[in-house]
Structure 1
Amino acid sequence: MTARTDRIDALLRAEISELLAREVHDPGVGFATVTRVETTPDLRHARVWIGVIGDAAARGETLRALERAMPFVRRQLGLRLRLKRIPELHVRPDETAEHGTRVLRILHELEEGRVPEDGPQVTALPEPSAGRGAPGEAAAPEPRRRWSRGRR
């Protein structure tokens, strides 16, 4: 990204956050925060990443309500900002917090010695010397390869 698009992303994030907090009065919008905005290089489209607190049904309802509110938000941005073109806004769910919470829960369960309920299934790895020489004997190191640029 360029410095200009980074500045526009930050500006859009701040303005959209303020508009959602003060101007959007849709009862379907739950507790939502704008976590990041990414605009395309031509500034025609912007993905608005929204973090929503609540269960899956509440998240879905909030995201649908925000999608309905985006034309209003875009018009308000046009009145507030001095940009040649206001990008078309596309709502995306930001699941970073859920992933972080899940990882912390799995780590906590592993620390307690329990097998995580929804964690990855771990199988036993083969012995390092399996299939190489006699049991207990260290395998010979592989020869180093020379990497060259272009032809030899």
Structure 2
Amino acid sequence: MKQRALRIAQMIKEVVGELLLTGLRDPRIGFVSISDVEVSGDLRLVKIYVSTMGTEVEKKATLDGLESAKGIIRSTIGKAISLRYTPDILILADNSIARGSELIDLMSKVTKPNDNKQE
């Protein structure tokens, strides 16, 4: 990404993070953290990657709540950051944290020392 797009992505991450903490009151939205924000080169599309906690049903409900709040999120971004066009928003689930913990579990199983083995 270009330097300006990186700066805009960081600003959007801060604005949306603050909105998630204070502004959205949808009961479907559970514990959410923004793991990454990507902005297209023309600044017209924003991909917001979120990681959620809970069961699969709770995760789906959280993503549905965020989807229904896209208008509010977009409006808040438009008010907070002065751009020629307010970007369209895609909210995507980021499962990298869950995959990372699964990999760590697998690695710990593989690297467990065998008590019967002698060197």
Residues paired across the two proteins, number = 114
Q: Which amino acid aligns with 1:40?
A: S
Corresponding residue number in structure 2 for 1:33: 33
Give deviations 1:54-93, integer Å, cap 9, x for gaps: 1211111101110111111111222222221111111000
After TM superposition, the score normalised by the length of structure 2 is 0.90
Residue segments in structure 1 that go unaligned for 5+ positions in a row: 115-152
Corresponding residue number in structure 2 for 1:104: 104
Give deviations 1:95-130, integer Å, cap 9, x for gaps: 11101100011011112379xxxxxxxxxxxxxxxx
Q: Which amino acid aligns with 2:3?
A: A
4+ residue stretches of structure 1 with deviation over 4 A? Answer: none
Alignment of 1:110-149 (within 5 A): 110-112=110-112
**RMSD across aligned positions (CA):** 1.4
Give deviations 1:15-54, integer Å, cap 9, x for gaps: 0110111100000000001111111111111110001011
Q: Which amino acid aligns with 1:69?
A: A
Corresponding residue number in structure 1 for 2:6: 6
Q: Secondary structure at the match of 2:69?
A: helix
Residue 92 of structure 2 is aligned to residue 92 of structure 1: yes
The answer to which structure has the higher helix fraction is 2
Corresponding residue number in structure 1 for 2:74: 74
Corresponding residue number in structure 2 for 1:62: 62
Residue 51 of structure 2 is aligned to residue 51 of structure 1: yes
- Give the structure, 1 or 2, with the largest relative contact order (CA under 8 Å, sep 6 or more): 2
Q: % of aligned pairs identical? A: 25
Distance 1:55 1:111 in 2: 29
Distance 1:43 1:6 in 2: 10
After TM superposition, the score normalised by the length of structure 1 is 0.71
